[in-house]
Structure 1
Amino acid sequence: MGFEGEVWRVCSGVEPVGEILIDDADFPWLSGRFTPGEAYAAVQALFDRELALSERDDDWAMWEEAYDEIRRRVSLSSPQGPVPEFLLHIQGDRAWFRWSDEPFEEQ
Structure 2
Amino acid sequence: MGYVGGVWRLLQGGEPLGGIVVDDADFPWLHGRFVPTEAFARVRPWFDEYLDLLEAEQFERFDDCYDRIAASLSLVSPSGPVPEFLLHVRDTRAWFRWSDTPFDPA
The interval holding the TM-score normalised by the smaller chain is over 0.9
Maintained 8 Å contact 1:15/1:38: no
Amino acid at match of 1:28: P
Shift of 1:15: 1.0
Q: Give runs of aligned pairs for residues 85-104 of structure 1, distance below 5 A.
A: 85-104=84-103
Cα deviation code 1:21-63 (max 9, x no counterpart): 0000001100100000132011000000010011122x31100
TM-score (ref. length: structure 2): 0.95
Instruction: Give the alignment's TM-score, normalised by structure 1.
Output: 0.95
1:84 alignment partner in structure 2: 83
Moved over 6 A (4+): none
> RMSD between aligned alpha carbons?
1.0
Aligned counterparts, 1:1-107, within 5 A: 2-57=2-57, 59-107=58-106
**Structure 2 segments unaligned to the other structure (5+ residues):** none
Paired residue secondary structure (2:30): strand
Structure 1 unaligned spans of 5+: none
Q: CA deviation at 1:2?
A: 1.6
